[in-house]
């Protein structure tokens, strides 16, 4: 019987995950199906239970259920624990195992696809929501020289940075700084990652141009549109990337967890860019 997988979210119609996993399955010769499931806002756990009862082997989880998936998991990977959110579930032996592949996906896109070294670099992360939280530890593990989080609600960034104090001290990683956009005066960075959803509402961020060091990379997690952040970074002379590579890489990591086979991402990213 063909193994069943799904992505659960609300809304879900726009999701590229079914196409990505279908391309991975064809490429690696895996016998599996992957569908998009709309879970009611108050019915995430019930939708998961139904899918498991129908033979589902694993699921990706997207907005707004990543925190609920974290609570639903009977066991969680260390990176899911660090992120406080789960985007990949595996079902078997009566267990629901939760993982988070977003951070690994971003780091792989930066290093492998974009050739961006992270060790010794100054990183600025914009945003303090779920996406930002999920990528902090994987980025810190790459040993940057400096790591600053800036958010519209400055206290949220400060609180988020504070949450990692124990973990960074324990592992000998550099301490994080968190605050507002005003606190960025006089600082510049080699990599600026936009993990806010400002691009989705076509809003500009109050980011000073001086945040971009000469030759820096500006990375927007949003994909499929030119955001104000991307336009500003281009004007400042930066190299610019969108989040499509991260989307495909987090999917590749989930595929690897489920199937034990690592698909090639580059041809899938290229296929998605072609439309
Ligand atoms: P959340 O809703 O959890 O967080 C949103 C963040 O954006 C908050 O920090 C919020 O600031 C900030 N924000 C929202 N609107 C504005 C604005 N107009 N100006 C300044 N800041 C703003 O969202 P997520 O963290 O889950 O997702 C963030 C983005 O990342 C989304 O666009 C999502 O599509 C993308 N993403 C992409 C992935 C990929 O694979 N490429 C994976 C995961 C996410 P405040 O705290 O002040 O409200």
Q: Which domains does the chain have, with CATH numbers?
A: 3-100+246-273 (3.40.50.10860), 103-242 (3.40.50.720)
Q: What is the pLDDT of residue 75?
A: 98
- Contact present, 240 and 218 (Cβ < 8 Å): yes
What residue ranges line ligand 1, CB within 6 angstroms?
102, 127-132, 151-153, 156, 195-198, 200-201, 203, 205, 221-223, 243, 246-247, 250
Atom of ligand 1 nearest to the CA of 200: 32
- Contact present, 200 and 180 (Cβ < 8 Å): no
- Contact present, 236 and 212 (Cβ < 8 Å): yes
Relative to beta strand 177-179, strand 146-150 is: parallel
Q: What is the pLDDT of residue 32?
A: 97
Q: What is the pLDDT of residue 208?
A: 97
Question: What DSSP character marks residue 11?
Answer: S
pTM: 0.96
Tell me, in angstroms, the distance from the centre of ligand 1 to residue 78's CA.
Answer: 23
- Contact present, 256 and 243 (Cβ < 8 Å): no
Picking from 4, 1, 2, 9, the residue whose alpha carbon sits closest to that of residue 91 is 4
Per-10-residue mean pLDDT, the chain, length 275: 95 96 98 98 98 98 95 96 94 97 98 97 96 94 97 98 92 95 97 95 95 98 96 97 98 98 98 95
Phi and psi dihedrals of 262, rounded to 5?
A: -95, 115
Query: At a CB cut-off of 8 Å and minimum separation 6, what does 215 contact?
Result: 190, 238, 239
- Catalytic sites, residue numbers: 66
Tell me, in angstroms, the distance from the centre of ligand 1 to residue 128's CA.
Answer: 8
Cα separation, 225 vs 230, in Å, equals: 9
Tell me, in angstroms, the distance from the centre of ligand 1 to residue 262's CA.
Answer: 29
Picking from 62, 97, 70, 72, the residue whose alpha carbon sits closest to that of residue 86 is 70
């Amino acid at each position: 019987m063909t193994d069943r997988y799904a992505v659960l979210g609300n809304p879900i119609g726009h999701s590229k995950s079914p196409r990505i996993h279908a391309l991975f399955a064809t490429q690696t010769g895996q016998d599996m199906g992957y569908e998009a499931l709309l879970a009611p806002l108050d019915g995430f756990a019930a939708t998961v239970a139904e899918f498991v009862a129908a033979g589902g082997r694993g699921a990706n989880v997207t907005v707004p259920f990543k925190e609920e998936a974290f609570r639903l998991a009977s066991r969680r990977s260390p990176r899911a624990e660090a992120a406080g959110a789960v985007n990949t579930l595996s079902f078997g032996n009566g267990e629901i195992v939760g993982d988070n592949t977003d951070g690994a996906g971003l780091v792989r896109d930066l290093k492998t696809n974009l050739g961006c070294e992270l060790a010794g670099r100054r990183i600025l992360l914009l945003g303090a929501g779920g996406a930002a939280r999920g990528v902090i530890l994987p980025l810190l593990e790459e040993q940057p020289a400096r790591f600053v989080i800036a958010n519209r609600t400055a206290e949220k960034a400060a609180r988020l940075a504070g949450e990692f104090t124990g973990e960074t001290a324990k592992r000998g990683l550099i301490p994080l700084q968190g605050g507002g956009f005003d606190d960025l005066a006089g600082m510049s960075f080699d990599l600026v990652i936009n993990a806010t959803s400002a691009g989705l509402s076509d809003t500009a961020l109050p980011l000073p141009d001086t945040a971009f060091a000469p030759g820096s990379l500006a990375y927007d997690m949003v994909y499929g549109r030119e955001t104000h952040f991307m336009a500003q970074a281009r004007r400042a002379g930066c190299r610019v990337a969108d989040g499509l590579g991260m989307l495909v890489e987090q999917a590749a990591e989930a595929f690897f967890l489920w199937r034990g086979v690592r698909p090639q991402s580059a041809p899938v990213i290229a296929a998605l860019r072609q439309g």
